[in-house]
Chain A
Amino acid sequence: MKPPPFAYHAPTQLDEALALLERHGDDAKVLAGGQSLMPLLNFRLSYPSALIDINRVAELSYIRQENGQVRIGALTRQRTIEFSELVRHQLPLLYEATTLVGHLPIRTRGTIGGSLAHADPAAEYPTVALVLDAELVLQGPSEQRSVSAEEFFVSYLTTALALNEIVTEIRFSPAPPTSGWAFEEVARRHGDFALVGVASVIDADGEQCRTARLAAAGVGPTPVRLRAAEDILMQQGVTEQSIQHAAAQAAELVEPDSDIHASADFRRHLTQVLTRRAIQRALERGQEQGA
């Protein structure tokens, strides 16, 4: 089908975009890469009276290092992130996850801010933001606030973003250089949304585990931080046995639904298998970093 009619605005300044959003209220939609919103419009599942196209707001597109963080403008394309040397070195997990987001022609247009604001629980970026303790900068007409990824994801396709706010920046703190990382997922076809995905960032020294961070995608209404599984690794150290333990615990922590793609049981099983793989892969990479 074709999109329903809407008023179209293409501001070039963030201020202008915010004023338009304020003026049009909850009838308006921000249009970023369009890789989630355009299908909804084409299928008439969404009827915004106005579209505020932020693609010409150049100030929202950048990747830079500041205060020990890597800061990424919300409009930065997934493709730009994929080919960024800075991301590859400082945020290798974000790089790895990016290669799993749809296909290259999708990443040409799709943005990091759009993926986070859309908040599909099976998407890679929300899970990466959660596991890396990222902060999102939300800009309203008069105020700016920063929220953690944990606070940002509220429910299925629902975030802490107010109707008059735009995500402007995502702030990542790189993991210590001795850390390893992994994004492990199972999807039906290459480029499809994952049935389940697990992200890990682990900083270990031999069997001693300094920090372990784990999060899962596709297993509930939001991405899930697997804290009790992290605790097992941090308290028991990383051994064959504690890894099995942590993976079993991860499967206990999630409450997946059944849908046409997979049953809840299968998703729970995948959570266990993928958690184990994500821990092992992170440890291998951590050793390579240390070597």
Chain B
Amino acid sequence: MSEPNEHSRTRAITLRVNGTECRGQVEPRKLLVDFLREDLGLTGSHVGCEHGICGACTILINGEAARSCLMLAVQANGAELMTVEGLAHQAGEPLALPGKTGPLHPLQAAFWEHHGLQCGFCTPGMLMTAYDLLQTNATPSEKEIRAGLSAVLCRCTGYQGIVEAVQAAAETLRARREGE
């Protein structure tokens, strides 16, 4: 049997979030998304279902999209995370600070332009999922976009605007790469 105090003993963790080193002291059972929201004040990642279905908590963990409600904060020790706050990234500036914004990422700009959001609850998860989709498939078809975004539930938009936004962002990113 384990010692009763083993359960609530907190652990020190160090990780990078949106390019900034962050430290925390967490109980092992603390979910990563709760650590981001409560301890770091990064409330952009939303908590919808806590069982992996809705996708609102999706962030990038070492560059790949994953559910932050299905990971413990202790498991992120040493990891490199990007949350929706990190998307609007002013080159070179640390962005872990809440309330601090840079220019919008092409995905964010496209969501704005194409009515990719209404209430905004799903938006952080949609953006991070679309980010991962475009980095694994730079020229997705509409069908592939719909399949990829089926990882996140939206109760408002009917998805059409979101799909159009991702198509537009893929174009912008492609043009930007070709311009380089």
Question: What is A's interface to B at a CB cutoff of 8 Å?
Answer: 1-8, 10, 24, 27, 34-35, 38-39, 41-43, 49-51, 53, 55, 79, 83, 102-106, 108-109, 189-191
Contacts and interface: CB of A to CB of B under 8 A. Distances in A.
A7 B6 contact: yes
B1 A49 contact: yes
Which DSSP category, helix, strand, loop or mixed, fits chain B's interface? Answer: mixed
Nearest to B67: A105
A192 to B, nearest CB: 9
Given A4-B29, A24-B2, A104-B136, A190 B70 contact: no
Contacts of A2: 29, 31, 34, 50
A108 B61 contact: yes
Nearest to B148: A104
Interface string B1-22: 1110011100100000000000
Contacts, number: 111
B34 A49 contact: no
B26 to A, nearest CB: 10
A105 to B, nearest CB: 4
Interface in B17-57: 27-29, 31, 34, 50-52, 55
A35 B52 contact: yes
A7 B51 contact: no
Nearest to A51: B28
**Per DSSP, are chain A's interface residues mostly helix, strand or loop, or mixed?**
loop
Nearest to A5: B7
Contact of B51 (A4, A42, A51, A109): A42
Interface in B60-81: 61, 64-67, 69-72, 74-75
A7 B70 contact: no
Nearest to A50: B2
A49 B3 CA distance: 10
B65 A105 contact: yes
B109 interface: no
Contact of A27 (B1, B64, B136): B1
11 contacts: A3-B29, A3-B72, A5-B7, A5-B27, A8-B74, A27-B2, A34-B70, A39-B52, A53-B75, A79-B64, A109-B71
Given A49-B1, A108-B61, A34 B71 contact: yes
B1 A3 contact: no
Contacts of B3: 7
Given A35-B52, A53-B72, A55-B75, 16 more contacts: A5-B28, A5-B29, A6-B29, A8-B28, A8-B72, A35-B70, A38-B51, A38-B71, A39-B70, A104-B129, A104-B136, A105-B67, A108-B61, A108-B65, A109-B66, A191-B151
Contacts of B52: 35, 38-39, 102, 106
A7 B3 CA distance: 8
A189 B27 contact: no
A103 to B, nearest CB: 3
By CB atoms of chain A within 10 A, which of B50, B133, B147 has the most? B50
